[in-house]
């Protein structure tokens, strides 16, 4: 305990008072954060569960009672109604899943290799190359979008999962490389040196060290996956039809007619489930990754 020179006698009570004040502040901030994140999502959920008639009634009901699964049934095609919507929704969901997982895997592979090199080897031009990488993170996708559009057209990759995935890889690779490099830098080089003396090649050394940098890999994977899943403007141009991800599909629901709120909301709820699960269950890695870029 630190000696308090001004009010020596009051020391214990003051510290207790401060601690309770702090606890109260923390509780208040925690409550605020819960409301901040969850209240809007509750409204989405409620809208997806409320019946069509109740939806248009004003004032808006806070609780969906009775709750109905009709919107979910319709968007998943479970109720036998016209498949126009559900066939497209399910396909869009698959597209999102496949492209995001594929792009994430590719980004991780590239980032592990390149990140390791940047962490372990200083070669002429490495600083410039790394700097170049960072600068590209700053460019808006649109500054390369239009020529990319023509390249993709020429290669017949427009409206394909592969084409879209490649664009995602190019967009999210720099951050992943940065992250892997940061994580590899925290691993002491002794392990690899020992292995090298035992005659291990570079591949062996990498795989030796990889488990230690695994949290970094998961961070990079998490951030990349979330970023891919969130994309809208790019697939709007590059994958607007057959390879359409779930975000583009939802926007077609939004534009159609303003009274289909329930359907929109059901689609919204389903399409945020993967990122929600990832963000909550892999949160440690997500936060660690974000902090790595800042916690110097």
Output Rg (C-alpha) for the chain, integer angstroms: 25
Closest CA to 285 of 219, 213, 212: 219
C-alpha count within 13 angstroms, C-beta hemisphere, residue 244: 17
Largest CA distance in the chain: 81
Q: Find the shortest distance in angstroms from Cβ 214 to another protein.
A: 8
Judged by CB, which is closer to another protein: 1, or 66?
Answer: 1
170 phi-psi bin (left φ>0, alpha ψ -120 to 50, beta other):
alpha
Judged by CB, which is closer to another protein: 40, or 188?
Answer: 40
Q: Find the shortest distance in angstroms from Cβ 188 to another protein.
A: 19
Closest CA to 183 of 104, 108, 295, 292: 292
Judged by CB, which is closer to another protein: 12, or 121?
Answer: 121
Contact of 256 with 262, CB cutoff 8 Å: no
Q: Find the shortest distance in angstroms from Cβ 1 to another protein.
A: 10
**Orientation of helix 161-185 relative to helix 283-294, angle to 10°:** 70
Phi, psi angles (nearest 5°) of residue 179: -60, -45
- Separation between Cα atoms, residue 118 and residue 127, nearest integer Å: 9
Judged by CB, which is closer to another protein: 138, or 198?
Answer: 138
Q: Which residues of 45-59 are buried (b: 16+ CB within 10 A; e: fewer)?
A: bbbbbbbeeebeeee
Q: Find the shortest distance in angstroms from Cβ 143 to another protein.
A: 4
Distances (CA, A) of 276 to 44, 165, 226, 250, 271: 14, 21, 9, 17, 9
Q: Find the shortest distance in angstroms from Cβ 259 to another protein.
A: 6
Judged by CB, which is closer to another protein: 26, or 188?
Answer: 26
Q: Find the shortest distance in angstroms from Cβ 146 to another protein.
A: 5
Judged by CB, which is closer to another protein: 150, or 188?
Answer: 150
Q: Find the shortest distance in angstroms from Cβ 198 to another protein.
A: 13
């Amino acid at each position: 305990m630190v000696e308090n020179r001004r009010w020596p006698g009051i020391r214990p009570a003051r510290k207790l008072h401060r601690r309770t004040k702090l606890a109260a502040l923390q509780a208040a901030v925690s409550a605020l954060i819960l409301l901040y994140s969850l209240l809007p999502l509750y409204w989405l959920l409620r809208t997806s569960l409320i019946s069509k008639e109740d939806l248009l009634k004003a004032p808006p009901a806070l609780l969906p009672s009775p709750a109905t699964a009709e919107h979910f049934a319709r968007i998943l095609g479970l109720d036998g109604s016209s498949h126009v919507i559900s066939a497209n929704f399910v396909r869009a969901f698959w597209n999102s899943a496949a492209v995001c997982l594929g792009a994430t895997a590719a980004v991780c592979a590239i980032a592990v290799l390149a990140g390791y090199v940047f962490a372990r080897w200083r070669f002429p031009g490495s600083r410039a190359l790394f700097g170049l990488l960072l600068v590209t993170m700053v460019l808006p996708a649109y500054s390369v979008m239009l020529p990319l559009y023509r390249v993709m057209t020429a290669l017949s990759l427009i409206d394909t999962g592969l084409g879209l995935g490649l664009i995602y890889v190019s967009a999210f690779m720099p951050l992943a490389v940065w992250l892997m490099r940061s994580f590899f830098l925290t691993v002491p080089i002794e392990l690899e040196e020992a292995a090298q003396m035992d005659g291990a090649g570079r591949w062996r050394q990498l795989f030796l060290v990889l488990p230690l940098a695994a949290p970094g890999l998961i961070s990079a994977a998490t951030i990349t996956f979330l970023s891919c899943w969130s994309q809208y403007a790019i697939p709007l141009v590059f994958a607007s039809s057959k390879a359409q991800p779930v975000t583009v599909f939802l926007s077609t629901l939004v534009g159609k007619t303003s009274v289909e709120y329930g359907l929109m909301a059901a689609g919204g709820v389903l399409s945020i489930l993967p990122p929600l699960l990832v963000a909550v269950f892999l949160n440690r890695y997500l936060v660690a990754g974000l902090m790595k870029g800042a916690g110097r």
